[in-house]
Amino acid sequence: MAGSKPDIVRDLPALRDAIAGWRRDNRSIGLVPTMGALHDGHLSLVRCAAQECDRVLATIFVNPSQFAPGEDLENYPRDEAGDIDKLAALGTALIYAPGIAAMYGEGFATEVRVAGLTDKMCGLSRPHFFGGVATVVAKLLLRTMPDRAYFGEKDYQQLLVIRRMAADLDIPAEIVGCPVVRAEDGLALSSRNAYLTASERAIAPALFETIAAAAERTADGAACAETVRWAANELAARGFTEVDYVDIRDAASLEAVESWRPGDPPARVFAAAFLGKTRLIDNVPVAPFE
Ligand code: PAF
């Protein structure tokens, strides 16, 4: 119920007990996996889950295996008390917040690897990332066995990887993608936005503006290679310190697209770029197709 404190469990037997009770009562379960530091993007997933499922279960776990050495694991924003309040206000029934040992037991030696979708874009610059995500999300889905699990389209490549993994491993949850939530100036909400200095924050919306303009050029028939070059130059000119990639790809397979015409399969423009040490990612559809 909105406002009442959700139960917080940290160990697997307690999690399984709660879920078994819901199952006995024939309740549908919506899972919202998070790494905490919740913002309106996460909360939109919780709202969506609450509309479609009888019980919402949110997880908070900063997953070490999706960070490479030297990335921001230690500094990753954490605010469990604040997260609990936000989840309570939306009527979340249960929060699962295991420690590292409760997630990865002694001798843990398994990695879930999704081929194909992961050998491009973020998979090239962060080769450890999708193995870490696919493994922890597989574990969360198997531990909770939800009817539906909710992920943001800001991490669009992650969403497709998780969908592929769940289908390939016969995990019966529906993987639901929810639209990107943006600040008023267009910046996609992300926990990592908290790292931005005031001057970097002022530049950051140029990421969305640039890929939105690139999507429009593509929809108008411009060659993708030329548009990608334009967008990368534009990001550098607008103050991004390093452009990791700009790509225009098929929205389902993530295969590269050379050009796009109305009636072609949906495509999206993807970008990752640095402002100082902070890496931002974003994506938009080439033309509205949802
Ligand atoms: O998108 C995230 O917050 C994380 O990658 C996820 C899906 C919770 C797995 O740790």
- The two tokens of residue 133 are 């995500």
Predicted local distance difference test score (pLDDT) of residue 37: 97
pLDDT of residue 48: 98
Work out whether the CA dihedral 118, 121, 122, 127 comes out positive or negative: positive
pLDDT score of 287: 83
Between the CA of 215 and the centroid of ligand 1 the distance, in Å, is: 26
> What DSSP letter does each residue of 175-240 carry, written as one string?
EEEEPPPB-TTSPBP-GGGGG--HHHHHHTTHHHHHHHHHHHHHHTT--HHHHHHHHHHHHHHHT-
Question: What integer is the mean pLDDT of 18-37?
Answer: 98
**Predicted TM-score of the model (pTM):** 0.97
pLDDT tens for residues 88-128?
999 999 999 999 999 999 999 999 999 999 999 999 999 99
156-199 confidence digits (pLDDT tens): 999 999 999 999 999 999 999 999 999 999 999 999 999 999 99
Nearest 5°: phi and psi at 254? 65, 20
Q: What residues are in contact with ligand 1 under a 6 Å CB criterion?
A: 33-35, 63, 66, 133, 136-137, 155, 158
Ligand 1, residue 133: give the atom nearest the CA. 9
pLDDT tens for each residue of 120-154: 999 999 999 999 999 999 999 999 999 999 999 99
With bands split at pLDDT 50, 70 and 90, how would you rate the model's confidence at 5? Answer: confident
The per-type count for the chain, helices as H runs and strands as E runs, is: 10, 9
Count other Cβ atoms within 10 Å, centred on residue 94: 21
For the stretch 240-259, pLDDT in tens is 999 999 999 999 999 999 99
pLDDT digit string, tens, across residues 194-219: 999 999 999 999 999 999 999 999 99
The pLDDT of residue 50 is 98
pLDDT higher than 50, residue 63: yes
Q: How confident is the model at residue 290 (pLDDT cuts 50, 70, 90)?
A: very low
How many Å lie between the centroid of ligand 1 and the Cα of residue 183? Answer: 20
Give the separation between CA 244 and CA 235, rounded to whole angstroms: 11
Q: Where would I find the H helices in the chain?
A: 12-24, 40-52, 80-89, 100-103, 122-125, 129-144, 156-168, 198-203, 206-219, 224-238
Helix, strand, coil percentages, rounded to 5, for the chain:
40, 20, 40
